[in-house]
Amino acid sequence: MKNLYLIGVGLIGGSFALDIKKKYPDCKIYGVDTNGAHLNDALTLGVIDEKANVEDVYNAEVVFIAIPVDVTLTVLPQILDYISDETLVIDAGSTKEAICLSIKDHSRRRNYLAAHPIAGTEFSGPNAATYNLFQNKTNIICEVEATAFKLQEKALGIFRDLGMRIRYMNPKAHDKHIAYVSHLSHISSFMLGKTVIEKEKNERDIFDMAGSGFESTVRLAKSSPAMWTPIFKQNKANVIETLGEYINNLMHFKSLMENEDFEAVYKEMKKTNHIKSILSGIK
């Protein structure tokens, strides 16, 4: 790879750039971001080699888009307008249906590959970028057959070099499933944080009692609202459905406690312990 245009130089884009730089030392990395401070940081940190504008992507061999998913809906069609016939455009957004729909009839649809690397941390911005973020992580590719064969191959080569495991899925199924294993945990974590903070208003000592279990459960509540609000908006129907099921399960647990049915409380937890064997596969 000779050059990479990074649209969004935050945690995901920045980490992608760091790995690319290591694997392809000759690759020049251009950064595009509406956040000037992030762009300066990315340059200072060596995440990018040069600042650029979105119109410059006609020079790009690869464009990697890692920005809030609502902005992708506007920016992705523009980028497809600007690129050359040979350019590969990848987006890494946490929703896929609306994004795939937004460029469905674009004349350069075959230059685009819809991806979702299941990787990240609760931090954001170029300062949060790290090497090997994608190592052994699952990367969901959607509508692979809509991408030109040569560009599929190029993208898969990059993903392989970064150590990702590939899974193929249609955008509708992706958005439905990811609501359960990613979007819902963010809401459960944010609302747990909220519940405890509300209490803490009058009881400042409470956090002194918090241990590593609480910290683990509430970790995702540190995540960026600017990134997550558009995700919830785009995946509204699925997220509302999972959230409803989650609330029902909590209400059921509460009613078991209210009815003093602690045998059933035990069974609820025992059955869910099964998550151990399921999670043993997750790094």
Q: Tell which positions 221-280 bind a copy of itself, by CB under 8 A.
A: 221-223, 225-226, 228-230, 232-233, 236, 239-240, 242-247, 249-251, 253-254, 257-258, 260, 262, 265-276, 278-279
Structure-block tokens of residue 150? 């040569």
Please, what is the minimum distance in Å from the beta carbon of residue 179 to a copy of itself? 9
Give how far Cα 61 sits from Cα of 15, 64, 72, 257, 266, Å. Answer: 19, 10, 19, 59, 57
Question: Is 26 one of the binding residues for a copy of itself (CB under 8 A)?
Answer: no
Backbone angles phi, psi at 249, to 5 degrees: -65, -40
Amino acid at 254: K
Phi-psi domain of 162 (left: phi exceeds 0; alpha: psi -120 through 50; beta: other): alpha
Answer for the pair 149, 31: CB distance below 8 angstroms, yes or no: no
Question: Is 180 one of the binding residues for a copy of itself (CB under 8 A)?
Answer: yes
The residue among 24 and 253 lying less far from a copy of itself, judged by its C-beta, is 253
Question: Is 137 one of the binding residues for a copy of itself (CB under 8 A)?
Answer: yes
The residue among 105 and 260 lying less far from a copy of itself, judged by its C-beta, is 260
Helices 69-82, 225-234: axis angle to 10 degrees equals 80
Contacts of a copy of itself in 79-118 (CB under 8 A): 118
Question: Is 214 one of the binding residues for a copy of itself (CB under 8 A)?
Answer: yes
Contacts of a copy of itself in 149-178 (CB under 8 A): 167, 169, 174, 177-178
The residue among 19 and 103 lying less far from a copy of itself, judged by its C-beta, is 19
Question: Is 2 one of the binding residues for a copy of itself (CB under 8 A)?
Answer: no
Question: Is 11 one of the binding residues for a copy of itself (CB under 8 A)?
Answer: no
- In the 3-class helix/strand/coil scheme, how is 240-254 assigned residue by residue? HHHHHHHHHHHHHHH
| Coil vs helix vs strand at 96 | coil
Give how far Cα 197 sits from Cα of 52, 189, 193, 220, 233, Å. Answer: 42, 12, 6, 15, 25
Question: Is 5 one of the binding residues for a copy of itself (CB under 8 A)?
Answer: no
Pick the binder of a copy of itself from 34, 74, 130, 195 (CB under 8 A).
195
Contacts (Cβ under 8 Å, ≥6 apart) of 214: 196
The residue among 44 and 135 lying less far from a copy of itself, judged by its C-beta, is 135
Question: Is 200 one of the binding residues for a copy of itself (CB under 8 A)?
Answer: yes
Question: Is 135 one of the binding residues for a copy of itself (CB under 8 A)?
Answer: no
